[in-house]
DNA sequence: ATGTCCACTAGGAGTGGA
């Protein structure tokens, strides 16, 4: 099963680009973030044409998450309990068939803006709520996956400029300890599992030619349970799809893709 | 070089968020 996470930065603006990617990469399951569209306006027809069913948790203007799947998909829940006022940021579904299924959650975690902003302590609270929620169903022997845009740079290696940004937004110990506490529930960062020392990024600012200057951050993750790690065949950050394609503008995030063996 | 892009409201450009 080929699974992926991708912050698309506006589903409607990106729809033709997403179509190119799906046709080229042929993923089975995709967690999408930053849809910026309501469920009513979600373009199910486009995805159905390509063989995908979508379960969605959207809202007007901001946030919004969805799971696309061309294998059987069953919606489980939407929204992080107690945090629904902070935007449509979580959707969970079971994907695949018996014996090959994954408990699949995709997340658009709060940005926090900067460490002086009111959103920063709120971001930390959101992560505390996420840990408490995820603790309820993560089991080593089950295939559980949390993926998405975490808006945290977990270690210095994951930043293009840790020296300058250490202690600022995405790079604080307060955020990093939250990230570790999620991992410590029994999850692995699948990219790091196979690439322990490689510096690679999943997001580059649109401004200032950041992509071409290799000024990025790794903030998009596939986090898998022990059972997922046992099934893991390959992981890739699909940076080719951070580039313009046929005159179409890319998201500021690249997809992250993993291939899993059958259970 | 905070240099771009998205969605919204408004009314065909400006604002807020990332």
DSSP A78-113: ES-TT-GGG-S-EEEEEES-TTS-EEEEEEE-----
Nucleotide nearest to A11 (CA to C1'): B6
Nearest residue by alpha-carbon distance to C1' of B3: A208
* pLDDT higher than 90, residue A100: no
Domain count, chain A: 1
pLDDT band (50, 70, 90) for residue A4: very high
pLDDT band (50, 70, 90) for residue A98: confident
Contact A250, A17 (CB under 8 A): yes
Place of tokens 């300058």: A164
Nucleotide nearest to A113 (CA to C1'): B18
Q: Which pLDDT value is given to residue A234?
A: 98
Mean pLDDT in residue range A244-257: 96
CA of A60 to C1' of B11 (A): 21
Angle between the N-to-C axes of helices A119-135 and A173-183, in degrees from 0 to 180, rounded to the nearest 10: 10
Say which residues have a Cβ less than 8 Å from residue A225's Cβ, sequence separation at least 6.
Answer: A138, A139, A140, A142, A143, A144, A145, A186, A187, A188
Domain span at A195: 2-260
A206 is catalytic: no
- The residues close to strand B, meaning Cβ under 7 A, are A 9-14, 36-37, 60-62, 110-111, 113, 119, 206-209, 249
pTM for this predicted structure: 0.97
**pLDDT (tens digit per residue) in A132-170:** 999 999 999 999 999 999 999 999 999 999 999 999 999
Residue A142, classed as helix, strand or coil, is coil
Mean pLDDT in residue range A98-118: 94
Q: Which pLDDT value is given to residue A128?
A: 98
The whole-angstrom separation of Cα A80 and Cα A62 is 16
**Catalytic residue of the set A103, A149, A220, A252:** A149
Nucleotide nearest to A87 (CA to C1'): B17
CA of A212 to C1' of B14 (A): 30
pLDDT band (50, 70, 90) for residue A262: confident
CATH of residue A106's domain is 3.60.10.10
Nucleotides of B under 7 A from a protein CB: 1-8, 17-18
Token pair recorded at residue A231: 């099934």
CA of A82 to C1' of B18 (A): 24
Token pair recorded at residue A120: 């920063």
CA of A230 to C1' of B7 (A): 42
**Catalytic residue of the set A108, A189, A191, A220:** A108
A252 is catalytic: no
Mean pLDDT in residue range A168-194: 98
* pLDDT higher than 80, residue A263: no
CA of A61 to C1' of B17 (A): 10
What is the secondary structure of A178-193 as a DSSP string? HHHHHHTTT-EEHHHH
Nucleotide nearest to A250 (CA to C1'): B5
Provide the phi-psi class of A4: left if phi over 0, else alpha when psi is between -120 and 50, else beta: beta
The DSSP output letter for A32 is E
Say which residues have a Cβ less than 8 Å from residue A208's Cβ, sequence separation at least 6.
Answer: A215
Mean pLDDT in residue range A110-119: 94
């Amino acid at each position: 099963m080929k699974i992926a996470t991708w912050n698309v930065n506006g589903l409607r603006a990106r729809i033709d680009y997403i179509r190119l990617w799906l046709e080229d990469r042929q993923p089975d399951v995709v967690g999408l973030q930053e849809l910026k569209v309501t469920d009513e306006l979600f373009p199910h027809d486009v995805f159905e044409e390509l063989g995908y069913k979508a379960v969605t948790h959207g809202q007007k203007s901001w946030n919004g998450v969805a799971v696309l799947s061309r294998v059987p998909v069953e919606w489980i829940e939407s929204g992080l309990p107690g945090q629904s006022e902070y935007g449509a940021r979580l959707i969970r579904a079971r994907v695949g068939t018996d014996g090959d299924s994954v408990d699949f959650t995709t997340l658009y975690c709060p940005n926090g803006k900067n460490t002086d902003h009111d959103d920063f302590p709120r971001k930390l609270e959101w992560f505390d709520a996420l840990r408490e929620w995820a603790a309820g169903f993560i089991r080593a022997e089950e295939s559980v996956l949390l993926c998405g845009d975490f808006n945290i740079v977990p270690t210095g290696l994951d930043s293009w400029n840790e020296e300058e940004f250490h202690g600022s937004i995405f790079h604080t110990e307060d955020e990093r300890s939250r990230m570790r506490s999620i991992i410590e529930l029994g999850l692995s960062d699948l990219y790091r599992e196979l690439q322990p020392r490689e510096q690679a990024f999943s997001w580059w600012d649109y401004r200032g030619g950041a992509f071409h200057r290799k000024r990025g951050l790794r903030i998009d993750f596939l986090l898998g349970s022990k059972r997922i790690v046992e099934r893991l065949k390959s992981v890739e950050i699909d940076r080719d799809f951070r580039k313009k394609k046929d005159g179409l503008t890319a998201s500021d995030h690249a997809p992250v893709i993993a291939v899993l063996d059958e259970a």
